[in-house]
Amino acid sequence: MKTPTAAFTFVEVLAALFFLAILIPAIAEGITLSSRLSILTERGAIATELAQNKLDELTIDNAWTSADASGDFGDDFAGYRWEVTQTAWDMDAMTVLAVKVYFNVQGIERSVTLSTLVNPTTAGTTATSTSSSATSASSLTK
């Protein structure tokens, strides 16, 4: 008496291939999105640190009063550039000093902004706040 051999039928093999054809593109898209978010997070953290360093550099000894309004971070941080803006603050005759750092993630320019209040008459008096550009996951898939 012959023992029946276990095997997949042609229909089962086709069903498995069809399932893989649907699953693999979804997994690949998830990996791509995860990679984009990872790059955005890493470059955003670097930009935030660079903005904080530039803001600290400008507020020490009131250097912001005579500093350049824009620049880059040299070869060490190629692709990152900064701009400084000053606006009057209505309360207490203070000035809002903002440093905005720009960087690219896969061809899309992003930015991080850090700002602080400075008193033109008193050196070293500051109160810092932070904001960054809003990025949604849907804008990363474009």
What is the total count of domains within the chain?
A: 1
Sheet containing strand 94-105, edge to edge, reads 70-72, 81-89, 94-105, 108-119, 122-132
The answer to whether residue 1 sits within a structural domain is: no
pLDDT of residue 19 exceeding 80, the answer is yes
Residue 90 has a CB neighbour count (10 Å cut-off) of 6
- For 78-136, the pLDDT digits (tens) are 999 999 999 888 888 888 999 999 999 888 999 999 999 988 776 544 444 445 554 43
- For 34-50, the pLDDT digits (tens) are 998 999 999 999 999 99
d(CA 4, CA 12): 18
Please provide the average confidence, as pLDDT, over all residues in the chain. Answer: 83
What pLDDT, on a 0 to 100 scale, did the predictor assign at position 13?
A: 93
The answer to whether residue 140 sits within a structural domain is: no
Comparison of pLDDT for 138 and 50, the residue scoring more: 50
The answer to whether residue 22 sits within a structural domain is: yes
The answer to whether residue 3 sits within a structural domain is: no
pTM over 0.85: no
Using 50, 70 and 90 to split pLDDT, how confident is the model at 141?
A: very low
* β-bridge mates for residue 99, sequence order: 84, 114
Is the backbone of residue 124 left (phi > 0), alpha (psi -120 to 50) or beta? left
